[in-house]
Structure 1
């Protein structure tokens, strides 16, 4: 995880800037996908070092997938 941490940090910063840009220009789907990307990066950072992360990560992926299919038109 030590090698991936700077990459995840830059990826989160990139997605945050794009979310800000899309939010200002009223592109709600693109904004939502970038916000979900930032949340995904936070989840990955917090759970990658945990021993029992596989069951929780599966639940989060299932929740994100159902949220996206219900609220974003089947992404």
Structure 2
């Protein structure tokens, strides 16, 4: 289930990267309680703390930016 959640997060991060969005925008989107796509990030925040979730979101967006830059 965690792998599925990560894939959803990565897909959302790719869309944010394509739109030149920031890590703050992605975090706001994923950590919003009404955004179903952020369930994985919110689970990390509940389990390991907000700072760990923000580190995860930063890594996922960095990978998306790298992937988008190499293919877009």
Common topology (TM > 0.5): no
> So what's the TM-score if we normalise by structure 1?
0.37
Q: By percentage of residues, which structure has more helix?
A: 2
* Structure having the higher Rg: 1
Which one has more relative contact order, counting CA pairs under 8 Å at least 6 apart? 2
> So what's the TM-score if we normalise by structure 2?
0.38
